[in-house]
Structure 1
């Protein structure tokens, strides 16, 4: 019998790419999501159940979590600007709702809990290869709460409840729940539609990962032997490239007529992560290049899959959050 997987935020940017992959692999999937970015992001499937609901609703969780072996927790108010729009809401969803979800999952017989943290928990490091053993210095409440949840999760680990945290780089590429507010996608959108990219500074490193590789990283965590992952934390990234290098990759795909305009910046935040551990322990390595993500977005622009990509609030977390005024 196929394993049953419960995914919070399964209609989000990564979730909308992960769910079809898991269904193709034969898993039964339940998605809990507020569907703030559209109701039809996931195609109906006989092994998919979608529930419109809030992870803060513990009564709902008590009803729908039983019967699942694995929980993948993706739901959160994502990115710093959206979080800062309403810090109380951000705290309620990203931190306060977390421990009840873990407790309920464990009490209801879930045996594996996979948590999506963020590589932003490291803050700014001088070292070139930031690994999982390094100290965390989160710079914002968004990343601080991600780190807090990692600590909370560890407390619930035991032989019958496997807990694992993944710290992704910035995800890029095409999804049915598109985001245009992450660095590679921003640059690609501007290059394609305006034929000009503004690069602020340019020397800062930004680790990215193609959305297909991110999906494959979750599959690796689902399928890994519990003894290899219980209590572990894994970075997941591709290469550490500067913003200027990313802009050059975008230009090479979109067209040589694209101008790159340099704007001085005081933002020297530079992030660079090592993905050696997940490769060594689980055999996972990102295989999709950043240029693949740009190609995928270009195809989606070419064939009209994305509607008004420069302005559509459905592609920009902060614009959407401002307009719906979620409480």
Structure 2
């Protein structure tokens, strides 16, 4: 059971959204999804409790029409990942930053009770410390992560007794989704291992925090069901174990097959990211429990079943390729 029954999700037809929406529907929620549907509108099966709206979060008239009657907003929509953002920085800013305050204000003025914001662990920048906690200073390296940090600050202004705001900073999500992404590290390596029987690792010692997509959905469920006093105005990291890129590659090789060749190449890019997820465990008893091997195996099964045809070439699996082809404004 869920504490909220009428849920509005921006970006609900995205990689995480497609899995989250299904889970919420399974729990009996009524869900409205607002999404540009750039990657297809068939990623979630029809359901009498689901209202799929193709539209733009920058359209304030549409927000004012759709949001009334919902008691929870989960904001997932954004131009995600740095290359996609850099393709059209003005578009990225208009969606990732400029649309945010109006969305929050419209939500609050229409009696939404809780607002969950999907930020990113990239807001920390590169840290030397082995465990990066939520109180570390933010040093975002790109406009994508800078605007994520800016939105966190904006959201904090609206926290009040009748409008609970909470931010989550996920690690990189991995695993299978009906709206598949194959441009994030674990999924990239698994795709190459399965189809080319070869993985190239540039460097290898860099730490890359990941989280299985089903664990990510569990984290959102934990935020939905938490009491207000545990999450009001709070920020939570959400990740699994901080593995190096080489360790990730070795786990994927072990999952896909012994014949997979692993090639290491030197790199100048030695950026490491590592986050602590202690706070969300202590406060909400949430702990990611699904392994990297499980994420790789889920993708392997999807490849074997033909669920991800043309996975090396179809632009729908690669955000930047789709962004280039649709020429969104």
Structure 1 residue runs of 5 or longer lacking an equivalent are none
Q: Name the SS of the counterpart of 1:14 in structure 2.
A: helix
Within the candidate set 223, 230, 233, 2:232 is matched to: 230
Between the aligned partners of 1:22 and 1:84, the Cα distance in structure 2 is 33
> Aligned pair 1:175/2:177, yes or no?
yes
Within the candidate set 54, 76, 79, 1:77 is matched to: 79
Partner of 1:304: 306
Q: Map of 1:48-59 to 2, 5 A cutoff? A: 48-59=50-61
Partner of 2:110: 108
Partner of 1:149: 151
Partner of 1:281: 283
> What displacement does 1:263 show?
1.1
Q: Are 2:4 and 2:72, in contact at CA under 8 Å, matched by a contact in 1? A: no
Number of aligned pairs? 327
Deviations 1:170-212 (A, max 9, x none): 0000000000000000000000000100000000000000000
Partner of 2:100: 98
Structure 2 residue runs of 5 or longer lacking an equivalent are none
> What displacement does 1:70 show?
0.2
Q: Name the SS of the counterpart of 1:235 in structure 2.
A: strand
Deviations 1:265-315 (A, max 9, x none): 000110000000000000000010010000000000001000100011000
Deviations 1:13-52 (A, max 9, x none): 0000000000011111000001000121111111111100
Within the candidate set 42, 61, 64, 1:62 is matched to: 64
> What displacement does 1:2 show?
6.2
TM-score (norm 1): 0.99
Partner of 2:119: 117
Between the aligned partners of 2:255 and 2:155, the Cα distance in structure 1 is 41
RMSD over aligned CA atoms reads 0.8
Between the aligned partners of 2:296 and 2:72, the Cα distance in structure 1 is 32
Between the aligned partners of 1:313 and 1:259, the Cα distance in structure 2 is 26
Between the aligned partners of 1:30 and 1:203, the Cα distance in structure 2 is 42
Q: Name the SS of the counterpart of 1:297 in structure 2.
A: helix
Partner of 1:5: 7
Q: Name the SS of the counterpart of 2:15 in structure 1.
A: coil
